[in-house]
Chain A
Amino acid sequence: MWRDALLVAGKDLRLEWRSRVALNQVVPFAMLVLIVFAFALDPDRGVLERATPGLYWVAVLFSGLLALQRSFTIEAVDGNRDSLRLSGLDPAGIFLGKAMAVGVQLLVLEVLLGIGVALLYTTQFRGWALLVATVVVATAGIAAAGTLYGVLAAGLRVRETLLPLLLLPVLAPVLIGSTRAFEAALADAPADGWPWIGLLAVFAVLYTVAGVLGFGPLLEES
């Protein structure tokens, strides 16, 4: 399973490296979201400062949707999904590989967005351990849930519009948990943030297990 996961993750990351879709489209989109919020809330820097954790994770979620859609669009064309089904690759390995590739892209995006937040919103980062833990477990949850729902919508003609409709409500706990944990870290009160890490970890584990078990049947039906 892990061999197949690494093979699929390597393929997806190589595809991204060659196509530069995330770099040329997803990252600029995420930065634009930050800039739009900065303009909208600029008259009152206090509001902007308080809203920074939420704005950051909203930008991550919206941008992550684009990366997830891209991850399944490449499999939806020219018989690639049939080739995957015939490949002999373990469906659980395909799920983990695609989730890993999305996760790596999200991590890069989150670092760039963090730099953007520091520059545009003049945010002073504190509580690094909590920040890093939040980023890691929230990313794992988004990637796992997004990959599971991505294959669910993959075979449908309306997948581009259906995926956000399916996924955004599901990711609401991640948005709430990661925002609260970031607020705690930035307020230099990490003790208030760690319980949210627990919630995010449970979410990530649940969707990873669901994906490992359910990706195969969903790939068949997609």
Chain B
Amino acid sequence: MEPSHHPEPAGSSSGTGGRPPEPPVVHLRRAVALLGDFPALAGADLDVGRGEIVLLRGANGAGKTTVLRTLAGLVRVSEGEATVLGVDLVTDRNAVRHRVGLLGHGTGLYEELTVADNVRFWARACRARPEDADAAMARLGVDGRLRNVAVGRLSTGQRRRTSLACLVARRPELWLLDEPHAGLDQEGRDVVDSLVRDATAAGATVVMSSHELDRALSLADVVVTVAGGTTRREQPGPVVVPMIGDPQEAPDVA
């Protein structure tokens, strides 16, 4: 990793007061990741500074989920440079996993276990304290009578909240959120937004994709467009609604 090669991340809290700039939390250069023979990432570049909120946008299948899974150390980087939280993903992607939190399409929950069982299990797995699990359940509103309900009996939104509680209890340094607003009601979406803001205020970094473009753009410091397995960094701006019949300009952020 060569920090001098990286542009100062927009919205970054680093590099102030005459101190040397912090190395980026995420650094991808010409990163290639294969899913089978298919290059899901085909030379992606990305720099994310500490405390930044980055929104990934792009058409379905553009590679947003692959970017998030790559940053989590779940997808092997076969070519290029890839560093997350100072860990080289090319040589040791396992080492970063316990420091990131990924909210994916799946819930990552055991249906027969209760909300409390699930949150406490995943919290204990990453050495978090039991009180962290309890606080996370309270923050997501899945405490009280819900804590002893089996996950299989919860609504989609309540499961999503439970998944988020598991992530919050882990206290990750890098939050990777794949459609975090999906399946949530208005209150739940507000909770997600406040969680993201609080996390970055506490020094964590967030990379997310979201269908909730208005919400996501109001949160994001930086917007990165993903297309064809490559990335292009932009400043957040107003949503441009495409003209009907112009699918190339569709504001699809899935």
Contact = CB atoms under 8 A, between A and B. Distances in A.
Given A7-B124, A87-B125, A78 B107 contact: yes
B121 A79 contact: no
A168 to B, nearest CB: 28
A7 B127 CA distance: 11
Interface string A60-92: 000000000000001001111011011111000
A176 B230 CA distance: 57
Nearest to A20: B112
Contacts of A77: 106
A18 interface: yes
Interface residues of B, number: 28
B225 to A, nearest CB: 25
- Secondary structure at the A interface, as helix, strand, loop or mixed, is helix
A11 B121 contact: yes
A45 interface: no
A74 B110 contact: yes
A176 B215 CA distance: 64
Contacts of B98: 86-88
- Among B117, B121, B166, find the residue whose CB has the most chain A CB atoms closer than 10 A: B121
A79 B150 contact: no
Contacts of B102: 82, 86
Contacts of B97: 85-88
Contacts of A86: 72-74, 97-98, 100-102
B43 interface: no
Given A18-B150, A78-B108, A83 B122 contact: yes
A91 to B, nearest CB: 9
Nearest to A7: B124
Contacts of A124: none
B210 to A, nearest CB: 18
Interface residues of A, number: 19
B110 A11 contact: yes
A24 interface: no
A89 B123 CA distance: 11
Contacts, number: 64
Contact of A83 (B69, B108, B124): B108
A15 interface: yes
B126 A88 contact: yes
Contacts of A4: 125
Contacts of B126: 87-88
A83 B104 CA distance: 9
Given A86-B100, A87-B122, A88-B97, A78 B109 contact: yes
A50 interface: no
Contact of B121 (A7, A74, A85): A7
Contacts of B6: none
Contact of B106 (A7, A15, A78, A88): A78
Contact of A15 (B73, B74, B110, B124): B110
A19 interface: yes
B227 interface: no
Interface string A4-15: 100100010011
Most chain B CB within a 10 A radius of its CB, from A19, A77, A87, A89: A87
A18 B121 CA distance: 15
Interface in A1-43: 4, 7, 11, 14-15, 18-19
Contacts of A89: 125
A15 B118 CA distance: 10
Contacts of B72: 82, 86
Interface of A: 4, 7, 11, 14-15, 18-19, 74, 77-80, 82-83, 85-89
12 contacts: A7-B125, A11-B110, A14-B117, A19-B112, A74-B110, A78-B107, A79-B105, A80-B109, A83-B108, A86-B98, A86-B102, A87-B125
Given A80-B110, A86-B101, A88-B126, 17 more contacts: A4-B125, A7-B124, A11-B121, A14-B117, A18-B150, A79-B104, A79-B105, A79-B107, A80-B109, A82-B106, A83-B122, A85-B74, A86-B100, A86-B102, A87-B126, A88-B97, A88-B127
Interface of B: 69, 72-74, 97-98, 100-102, 104-113, 117, 121-122, 124-127, 150, 166
Give the 3 A-B CB pairs with smallest separation, nearest first.
Answer: A79-B106, A88-B98, A83-B108
